[in-house]
Amino acid sequence: MKFTVSSSALLSLMATTGKVISNKSSLPILEYFLMELKDGKLTVTTSDLETTLIGSITVDNVEQEGVIAAPAKLMLDSLKEFAEMPLTIEVNDSTWEIKITWQSGHLSIPGASAVSYPATQSLGAESKNITLDVDMLVNGINKTIFATADDELRPVMNGVYFDFSESALTFVATDAHKLVKFSSESENDFAASFILPKKPANLLKNLLLKEDEPVAVGFDAKNATFDLKNFKLVCRLIEGNYPNYNAVIPAANPNKVLIDRVEFVNGIKRVAVCSNPTTNLIRMDIANNKINLTAQDIDFSVSANETISCSYEGSPVTIGFKSTFLVEILSNIETPTVVVELADSTRAGVFKPVYDDKQGSEALMLLMPMMINA
């Protein structure tokens, strides 16, 4: 294998694909980049057995095609030290030595045979395929991923749920304390669903920021593939039945609070400083177009109180929430105004953005309350 490539283009490709590599790899070969040169294109593959990311760039002056496994850390550490310049990379087919040459010097890195690199999972015959808008995918993952769980006993909650109906695609995430549902209008030929694990969801979110063309998505019962312009992400899905999320969303909460989101978040942050560090409990007394926020930590004799104006329809309500979850939910809503729908102190609060015009998507966030000691 011998070719010439831009140092910055190669670094960018390897830095992106290198995010898949796990520090606790069970197979030593998974700490390597699989590099394949064919038809003037260099393809770099990384995998942790669950997730595989394949990226490619065009290279120059191809003298010989081939395939090799290159040590990821050494390659990245070396490439980071180059300014933008052409590099000639040559691989010895018998010793697997990788020689990188530039205008004023060269370096040698020990490679390895690519024979033992695991094959990429492929989809079964019963797989479904759909093309999705980039913005819809980015928004769906961005708005839900923060609510995923890290629960070994309930692995289905450790990912983002994609729920396809004939008229919409709904993204859902929950950790049993908070739940986020984001629906976007989408014409689909089928009704189906899958659970995308958190790691590939985060990788996909970052990859999509540089994309402007629709993404081809394929999935079966076990795996999913996402085809982008220069990358392909293949991942194992979380198997199991996702909880019935619609069943936990209250159908009609009679009390509605309309409030300035930024003022609300800032008030919560100020008061939360004095909350109990174990519970982070904030008490909200809502009546007469005012929210009274209270937090206290009896052990250290600290307390805080702040009153914020709002527009309120309903009977007086007292309810407690975990302040860290409240801030997280409100920070993931982008509109200046939010509506909070409540029933009583024991039932979940529903948070929704308030838009000035009709939207092609709908977001809803739910937070379970905490017990208040009277």
Over residues 244-293, the pLDDT tens digits come to 999 999 988 999 999 999 999 999 999 999 999 999 999 999 999 999 99
Cβ neighbors of 350 (< 8 A, separation 6 or more) are: 249, 250, 253, 340, 341, 342, 364, 365, 366
Contact, 102 vs 82, CB < 8 A? yes
The SS3 of residue 27 is coil
Question: Could you give the domains of the chain?
Answer: 2-110 (3.10.150.10), 128-247 (3.10.150.10), 250-367 (3.10.150.10)
Q: 374 falls in which pLDDT band (50, 70, 90)? A: low
Give the pLDDT confidence of 36-55 residue by residue, as tens digits.
Answer: 999 999 999 999 999 999 99
Task: Provide the mean pLDDT of the chain.
Answer: 94
> What's the pTM value of the predicted model, to 2 decimals?
0.92
pLDDT of 23 reads 85
Q: Quick one: angle between helices 72-79 and 7-17, nearest 10?
A: 140
d(C-alpha 125, C-alpha 214), whole Å: 23
